[in-house]
Amino acid sequence: MNVGKSKRVRVALSAFAIGALGAGVVVAAPWSAPSTTTEASIELVSTATCYDMVSIAIGGRNDTPREGVKWLTTPDGERLPAAMSGDYSSDWIDQVVRAPNNGNVVPDSYAAVYVEYPADMASYENAVQTGVTNSQTIMKSISASCPQTRFAIVGYSEGADVARRTAMEVGNQVAGADGKYGIVDPSQVVGVVILADAGRVAGEGPFPGAENPFGNPDGFDTKYQNGNSAISGQGALPGTSGGFGALDGRVASFCSEGDLTCALPENTSLIHLAANIGRQVNADALEREQLTPATGADLALALGRIAVNAFNDIASQPNWMQSDETFLDVLIKVSEPGYEPGAVTTPVSAEVDGEQEPIRTDQMIDMVYLPQKIFREITGFISSNQNTVPVIMNDPYGLTLGPGSGHHFDYWRDADAANGKPLTSAQYAAAWLTELLEEANRGEPVKTKEVQEKAGRAAIETIVAPKTTSATATPTATTTAPATSTPVVTTTVPVVPAPAAEAPAPAPAPAPASEPVVTPECTVPVEGETPVEGSPPLCVTATETAAETATETAVPTTTEVVPAS
């Protein structure tokens, strides 16, 4: 009996563990045990040293610096929520953020710092938001002393959620009237690595916003994989999704098939709801103690709050009975930690007498609308949960977080050279960061999308810009011949042979001597004269005929009269 109860609780907690941690590691997680070093012996490390590039590293659940490490400080001695990677070690993130120092780089030009944040699930949203705030504080402090320093942001598991939100806020900033940004200039963030992205959008490639979203980030030629098939499903926390703004093309969002934190099958609404509830309860205590009076009260309080918000949301929409929105849709909407009443309106899909009209409050329970609404509730629940039962039956906890086999740990073992993926996700991220550092060492400009677009436009303009020539000069070969509004007459100059690849234009055949000259079939245009209406068409020379059949080729030099095109 106890075994059965334990298994049921484990399955029930799966949804919390998978979604709520965005994806914090529950099993086989790297624990950062507090050091026995006393506070008096802690050595402070100043950020006054300027580096070409600094990686902001955010570990997963429980993988964060704790008291007893050497903390970073501002130049005036203020403690920062971070530790140098040499003073704190992560079994997971180290493989990515320490790699650049092993490349062909300038010594002492790079550093990685680990962000301190709660990294727990006692209050998931508070933990993640604290991580975002601390990450931004570190970047602002370093940038204040070293404005030329470039940043990379790297996050895994619960830290992946922190990295995503941090990057989204940086990339979507609007500069103030003075041209400055509240966090750091987005151009300073050259790369973002998100391992197990709970905010991933269905069908999205690993490099959102890039020119090749399935192959590589912009500016890095090494391909991550062959093909362009997206990982199935989407992130377990769709409410955290969003664009990266100015950082589009500089983001690597890795997801492994089977990692339900980022590849949760579609039509699993109940799991999404459970994940949102898990973000509002003390999931650590619930996992550790299971259901007790204290944890039960915490869970009931969260459920009650969500239910009240749901009914208030429905009551605020007089046309809700006519809409396609189901009660489950409302529950998911209001269970988002950032939900604000009245922020979302429900679309109306039904019609009344051929016209869409709001239904009055006193008609909310009118039997005219109730049968159709019940039908929508049933069909909506079934269609939005077609994959919920299969996911639960396949042990989502073990599939994602199982020791030694869970797909949440694939990023360090997912290479498949035989199928066009020579590097693991972690190795690829390490190679990319190393290249970014080498570019910073060389002083190359940041490869932002704006810079790439300007370079592309300049190249195109150089190719297609027509050359300006005088009436007496030999025309310069161009890819396109500009049209003129009046006939152009060239002076007599020696004929220049056409390029070898182009056949010479045949000369016009002379008229037979025996035939008298009569009214010409065409007229030769004369400079300054306008053709008379009804006169024969302008003569077309053999040179012109050859030019018309040669598309986008050089225009040969000729002494013939060139009529207007």
- Residue 63: the pLDDT is 97
What is the sign, positive or negative, of the torsion defined by CA atoms of 232, 237, 242, 247? negative
Please write down the HEC assignment for all residues of 45-76: EECCCCCCEEEEEECCCCCCCCCCCCEEECCC
Cα–Cα distance, 142 to 75 (Å, whole number): 10
Do residues 318 and 356 touch, judged by C-beta distance below 8 A? no
C-alpha to C-alpha distance for 528 and 388, rounded to whole angstroms = 81
Strand locations in 59-197, DSSP E? Answer: 71-73, 79-84, 110-115, 150-156, 189-195
Q: Give the C-alpha distances (Å, rounded to integers) separating 386 from 115, 202, 262, 269.
A: 40, 17, 18, 9
Contact status, residue 92 vs residue 159, Cβ threshold 8 Å: no
What does each C-alpha distance from 493 to 198, 546, 556 come to in angstroms? 72, 20, 13
Q: Are 79 and 176 in contact (CB under 8 A)?
A: no
H-helix or E-strand containing 253? strand 251-254
Pairwise CA distance, residues 294 & 185, whole Å = 46
Tens-digit pLDDT profile for residues 127-140: 999 999 999 999 99
Give the pLDDT of residue 526.
Answer: 52
Contacts of 250 (CB under 8 A, 6+ apart): 189, 190, 191, 192, 209, 217, 218, 219, 244, 447, 448
pLDDT along the chain (565 residues), means of 10: 41 46 40 36 56 97 94 90 95 96 90 97 95 97 94 98 98 94 97 97 95 96 91 92 96 96 91 89 89 90 92 87 88 88 48 46 56 83 87 88 92 95 97 97 81 46 42 40 37 41 45 45 53 53 43 42 41
| Cα 80 to Cα 71: distance, rounded to the nearest angstrom | 7
| Residue-range domains of the chain with CATH | 13-268+410-450 (3.40.50.1820), 272-386 (no CATH)
Hunting for tokens 């709660």 — which residue is that? 118
Radius of gyration of the chain (CA): 34
